[in-house]
Structure 1
Amino acid sequence: MMALLRPRSTKNLFYVLTLLEIVGTLALMLYALLGEFGNLVNLPGKRIGFYNFCLWNDTAGELLCLGNEQLQEMGINLLQMALARVCVYSCLVFIMFHLVYVLFVNYTGQREGWKINLIIPFIEIIILSAGLVMFLLQTLQWINLSDFNGGFLALLGTCALLLLQILTVTVYLSWAKLRYI
């Protein structure tokens, strides 16, 4: 299939695919962290996210958001929660940087820049996965699998798109190596 495509159109295909994957990743991250306000669970009886930890209080008959002291009494490590928040939100910053970098590499025509386009998604997926794992380790005893909302699914979709970006850039680098040898 690749042999049938002209070299210039193949290069543009990889560029457009990578660009679409990054834009999709950015859209999913913006939805999860801004559209859902970082809440991974948002039910009438509980709201759990990077900035909220609210559980239903039967006595008051309403959702009660817990403060740091109550969270520590429940065994939640506030340092890990803060680190999880930093990891997930910094991944959003890396994705925005990556989008600009891909545009720059294509504009300047630097073939060597594509190697960095392979490294950046690796960094993003490691940071995002670490943040999610730290968050889930601290909160999983209060969350059922069916409780997760679209924000959590968007973060999982982000991980999938990051893996797809890695695959796309790897295939491009292999193609370019064969083409320019």
Structure 2
Amino acid sequence: MLKPGTRMGLLQQRCTGHLLCALTLLEAAGTLALMLYALLWEAGNLVNLPDKRIGFYNFCLWNGTARELQCLEYKHLQAMGISLPGMALPRVCVYACLVFSIFYPIFVAHVKCTEEREGWKMILIILIIQVIILSGGLGTFLFQTSQWIHPSDFTGGFLALVGTQALLLLQILTATMYIRWAKHTHPYQSPFTEKALPIEI
């Protein structure tokens, strides 16, 4: 039979664990929403202005003679000193991060249901990989196009990707907190299983 103090402490431990899991899922949902907005709704455009449209699939500048946006082809980009691999790599990295974001909540839910502590370490690794490929892809793209983009040109797509990066870092913090909490709750067993319950008579 559990003592009242032990029962209350166990309830608080469970609430903390459930709260961290719920926070992780909310952050994952926010990350996915921002990625979908930036890469699908905004079509990967980081700059979407009447006289300029630059993104992972578009490079359009204002043509003063024709008085309209002119979208440049790969041969024109090469002539401007923009590397084609340097444009393709960021696209692969950023859209790979979107794929991770789609399947990540499912993986988190699976780990939560099975209560596998090692799964949370894998979650942390996945988040770190996402941060690396997103920051690497975005940084490479901006380095390639910095001559044609001013800080004031950025629109919703870029801001959404920056928000995604912030949420990924927040998820890393949350996952780290959960791993530390689970370790202190019970060193060897899941804090949600009956075997982990301290029974006192």
TM-score (norm 1): 0.96
Q: Distance in 2 between matches of 1:136 and 1:178?
A: 43
Task: Tell me how far 1:101 sits from its aligned partner.
Answer: 0.5
Structure-2 change in CA distance of 1:10 and 1:85 (3 Å): same
Cα deviation, residue 97, structure 1: 2.0
Per-residue Cα deviation, 1:51-107 (whole angstroms, up to 9, x for no partner): 000000011111000001100000000111001100000000011121111011112
- The DSSP-based 3-state class of the residue aligned with 1:141 is coil
Residue 188 of structure 2 is aligned to residue 145 of structure 1: no
Structure-2 residue corresponding to 1:174: 180
Q: What amino acid is the match of 2:183?
A: K
Q: How does 1:79-98 map to 2 (within 5 A)?
A: 79-98=85-104
Distance across 2 between alignment mates of 1:140 and 1:13:
42
The unaligned stretches of length 5 or more in structure 2 are 1-8, 188-201
Q: Give 1:7 deviation, angstroms.
A: 1.4
Structure 1: tracts of 5 or more residues without a match: none
* Pairwise CA distance, 1:110: 1.5
Aligned-pair distance for 1:9?
1.1
Identity, % of aligned pairs? 65
- What SS does the aligned partner of 1:79 have? helix
Give 2:73's aligned residue: 67
Runs of 4+ in 1 over 2 A off after TM superposition: none
Amino acid at match of 2:42: E
**2:25 pairs with 1:15:** no
Q: 1:16 to 1:41 in 2, by over 3 A?
A: same
Shift of 1:4: 9.7
Distance in 1, matches of 2:132 and 2:144, equals 18
Aligned-partner residue type, residue 115 of structure 2: G
**Any idea what the Cα deviations from partners look like across 1:134-180, whole Å, max 9, x if unmatched?**
10011011001000001100000000000000000111111111111
Which of 156, 160, 168 is the matching residue for 1:162? Answer: 168
Distance 2:156 2:11 in 1: 38
Letter in 1 for 2:33: A
Structure 1 CA distance, aligned partners of 2:165 and 2:175? 16
Rg larger for: 2
Letter matched to residue 122 of structure 1: I
1:135 match: 141
Structure 2 residue 74 is the aligned partner of structure 1 residue 42: no
CA distance in structure 2 between the partners assigned to 1:133 and 1:8 by the alignment: 41
Structure 2 letter corresponding to 1:158: T
Residue 42 of structure 1 aligns to which amino acid in structure 2? N
- Give the 3 Å change call, closer, same or farther, for CA 111–87 of structure 1 in structure 2: same
TM-score norm. by structure 2 comes to 0.86
What is the aligned partner in structure 2 of residue 118 from structure 1? 124
